[in-house]
Amino acid sequence: MPRQDQFVLTLSCRDTKGIVHAVSGLLYQAGCNIIDSQQFGDLAGEDATGLFFMRVHFEAPPHLADVATLDRLLQYVRGQFQMDARLHALGQRSRVLLMVSKQGHCLNDLMFRWKSGQLDVDITAIVSNHPDFAELAASYGVPFHHLPLPPGSDAAAKRAQEQQIEALIDKERVDLVVLARYMQILSPEFCGVLAGRAINIHHSFLPSFKGAKPYFQAHARGVKLIGATAHYVTADLDEGPIIEQDVERVDHSLSAEDLTAVGRDVECVVLARAVRWHIEHRVMPNGHKTVVFR
């Protein structure tokens, strides 16, 4: 089935009757073929938002197979239910920028998955505040941009470096920024630029073990579970809406170095899942949470 004829519609609105019927009926009347459809109403519990979410993967006939035409087709239903409705062409690959500091396990994992066809994206560039992974980038044929931040750099210097990254994002028409262990705190201004299109990964010890060598801190406390969290970047450090998490059981027989190795493996897997689900348009914001259609 040609991907240039395939689209994903994601929508959210206040939960009410008739939404699924209206959307599926409209697509049927237009001659589209629904391949997969998922929906969720956030109605249970004190923190429920009352919103309805839907993801529809469908094939469009040739005369409708572009986003602008399909968007016009959706105008009435969008207005009827006051939807935030977005169309995504699966034939158009997401353009991704990777950012890294001195720990390269997540970077290397994403690059391998991309090169081996497991991640259907275009990696446009790698940005780092250190030169360490220039050779790795070159081995994959990806441009590497070393934008240093010397120790003790003030807020003005950090913001100037971020603006260089913003210019690169605009130049390369980047859809998604992935912080693959980029160990710098981003300014609120930069977080605003990246809102909804930047994913970060960190170990799941926060807030228990902050700072340097968290796995060594965990080992000293006899931790029995270690894990990782992938989330969207916000101005609230490491507190953005969570996309994916996973854990691994560990025990007393493992050294601090062993824990670190296990933790890095979990980080790689969790980040890769989050990136894949984002580029497949399976993640939808729901206040401080996300809805993830797998």
Per-residue pLDDT tens over the stretch 100-123: 999 999 999 999 999 999 999 999
Q: Which of 238, 246, 258, 265 is catalytic?
A: 238
Q: What percent of the chain has pLDDT over 70?
A: 98
pLDDT the model gives residue 238? 80
Nearest to 205 by CA among 195, 217, 194: 217
Q: What is the 3-state composition of the chain as percent helix, strand, coil, each rounded to the nearest 5?
A: 35, 30, 35
Report the distance separating Cα 233 and Cα 124, nearest Å: 20
DSSP state at residue 186: P
pLDDT tens, 53-71? 999 999 999 999 999 999 9
pTM score, whole prediction: 0.94
- pLDDT of 77 above 50: yes
Average pLDDT of the chain to the nearest whole number: 94
Q: Is 36 helix (H, G, I), strand (E, B) or coil?
A: strand
Q: What percent of the chain has pLDDT over 90?
A: 87
* Residue 42 annotated as catalytic: no
Q: How confident is the model at residue 210 (pLDDT cuts 50, 70, 90)?
A: confident
Contact 217, 241 (CB under 8 A): no
